[in-house]
Amino acid sequence: MVVENGAWQRYFSHWAAGRVVDELLPGPAAATRCFRAQRKIEEWLDDVWCEGAALVDHDRRIPLRFGFADSWADHRATRAVLARTWPGWDVRFPHDAMGDLTRHLGIGRDLTRAPGWFETFEPVEFAGGESTEPWSVVSLRLPDGSVRAWGSAWEPIEHLACGPALIGLLPASPLAAVLPAGFPFPHLPLATALRRLGTGLGTPPPDLTPALDALIAG
């Protein structure tokens, strides 16, 4: 999406999701030319089918982008390059994917999401997985103030769907570790003392808030 002079336009490329972030690296002028060379569309893709997207807002000088990164090192390298090639721009990462992009345009987070998309379930185990580089980190603040962390192959939204039952499953996981300073993973802190769920990925979509309130009631 490109925003300029108060108007915005969507563009689509079937095979470009994996490299949409790369197209931003040369800077705003090159990125805008690249996106405008793609096919104009009027419809929206949802979070399932849209694997990567970018929004270049020339009016507010804000680029938003999301897409798959092979590793945290790749993500950090991309951020470092964008900081140099987009001087004077507020480079942002839309943690809520399409929700953040549509919200930036003033049309809400839920435009590309079907009602009832957030479904809860009762977990039977903590999804640690065997990945040496977890996709997310869940931390638990104990009554004594100490913090323990567990790496997980799940997305943070899946942990939220478990509700407080997840807390009881964490101690049995063999993946417990001391939470490192500046850990580089999407983060879901579970503060048992406050009985509160939070996510390091940004503000949850509006229709998720009532569901979370119901999950952690009491």
Q: What does the pLDDT look like over 161-172, one tens digit per residue?
A: 787 777 777 776
- φ/ψ of residue 179, rounded to 5: -65, 115
**Considering its fold, how many domains does the chain have in total?**
2
Do 106 and 140 lie in a common domain?
no
Do 99 and 161 lie in a common domain?
no
Residue ending a domain, choose from 50, 78, 112: 112
Do 91 and 188 lie in a common domain?
no
The answer as to whether 18 is a domain residue is: yes
The answer as to whether 106 is a domain residue is: yes
pTM: 0.67
Lowest mean pLDDT among 48-57, 62-71, 99-108, 133-142: 133-142
Do 15 and 93 lie in a common domain?
yes
Do 95 and 144 lie in a common domain?
no
The number of beta carbons lying within 10 Å of the beta carbon of residue 21 is 23
Terminal alpha carbon distance of the chain? 43
Nearest CA-CA partner of 41 in 18, 66, 61, 11: 11
The answer as to whether 208 is a domain residue is: yes
* CA–CA distance, 187 with 200 (Å, rounded to integer): 5
The answer as to whether 43 is a domain residue is: yes
The answer as to whether 129 is a domain residue is: no
pLDDT tens per residue, range 58-92? 999 999 998 877 777 788 899 999 999 999 999 99
Residue 120: the pLDDT is 72
Do 14 and 86 lie in a common domain?
yes
Domain extent at residue 165: 136-215
Do 32 and 70 lie in a common domain?
yes
Do 9 and 101 lie in a common domain?
yes
Type of residue numbered 214:
A
Do 141 and 75 lie in a common domain?
no
